[in-house]
Amino acid sequence: MRRAYFKNNWVAALVVAPQLLIIFIFFYWPTSQALYWAFTLEQPWGGGNEWVGFENFRYLLTDDLYWQSVRVSVIYAVATTVLAMSMALILALFADRQLRGYHGFRIGLIWPYAIAAPAIGLAFRFIFNPSAGVASYLNYAFPEIWNPVMNGDHALIMVIIAGAWKQVSYSFIFFLAGLQSIPRSLLEAGAMDGARVMRRMRDIQLPLLTPTFFFLIIINLTDSFTDSFGIVDTMTSGGPARATELMVYKIYEDGFRGLDYSGAAAQSIILMFLVIALTFVQFRYVERRVHYT
């Protein structure tokens, strides 16, 4: 690979300046402000902020409502990741077998990735509406069996399905690319040895997809913790009774509706370090089981 060299350093600085400016404005500046608010407390009658050290964090870690949002967030992240990757893998396996019409299915399965989370939330809110949506037929056949408006478990299941559906397309693209990168000679050799479709998938395709699994687990878990606000806001607004109040939505509720900027900033710092720690653990311990050959 050839490397580009600039005779004048100011040309290189001019090229990278816009990107550095964007990173500073949208990442480093908000992060520095969140750190400032997390360790301070705003005076009730003005006069600036007061340094309180870890008091905001201590209050959060002794708050049962905060731990409730952590528990719901972990359930949501694990469930959406498992559901989305399972659905994406099955669809990719069918598309990779090049059944009749697979070109249309392949394009159709990629398009949903371009849909914004609030639009997905509105669509699934109508589908799962217990009185007017598609799910109302279920209630008509079995009265009161589905009611996400009043039942927290139903509401969480509804949000998980919508969140998983949002991630299926992204995982599908990578699974399909991984399957198509496997040499056909390996599958043909397995078939000649008498291995059927399921045996070839278990012994050849899935082991060679391990790097793809590893990458998608990280991306899906991280996305579930940080990019779930639109779905929750449009579908349940965190209810009923905080049953779907994820960590990212609680930051919004406490900060913009409760006007507790310091508490919301402390929550955002905890969420940021949680995602960093999760990624570190995955790379440190899970990657050892990945086979790249």
Give the start-to-end residue ranges of the domains of the chain. Answer: 64-287
Q: What is the 3-state secondary structure (H, E, C) of the chain?
A: CCCCCCCCHHHHHHHHHHHHHHHHHHHHHHHHHHHHHHCEEECCCCCCEEECCCHHHHHHHCCHHHHHHHHHHHHHHHHHHHHHHHHHHHHHHHHHCCCCCHHHHHHHHHHHHHCCHHHHHHHHHHHCCCCCCCCHHHHHHCCCCCCCCCCHHHHHHHHHHHHHHHHHHHHHHHHHHHHHCCCHHHHHHHHHCCCCHHHHHHHHHHHHCHHHHHHHHHHHHHHHHHCCHHHHHHHCCCCCCCCCCCHHHHHHHHHHHCCCHHHHHHHHHHHHHHHHHHHHHHHHHHHHHCCCC
- pLDDT computed for residue 247 by the predictor: 92
Q: What is the pTM of this model?
A: 0.86
Give the model confidence (pLDDT) of 138-159 as tens digits: 888 888 788 888 899 999 999 9
Residue 63 has pLDDT above 70, yes or no: yes
Give the model confidence (pLDDT) of 183-221 as tens digits: 888 888 888 888 888 888 888 888 888 888 888 988 899
- pLDDT computed for residue 163 by the predictor: 92
Residue 82 has pLDDT above 90, yes or no: yes
Residue 112 has pLDDT above 80, yes or no: no
Give the model confidence (pLDDT) of 226-264 as tens digits: 888 999 999 999 888 889 999 999 999 998 888 888 899
Distance CA 124, CA 126 (A): 5
- pLDDT computed for residue 282 by the predictor: 72
Task: Say what percent of the chain tops pLDDT 70.
Answer: 91
Residue 173 has pLDDT above 70, yes or no: yes
CATH number of 64-287: 1.10.3720.10
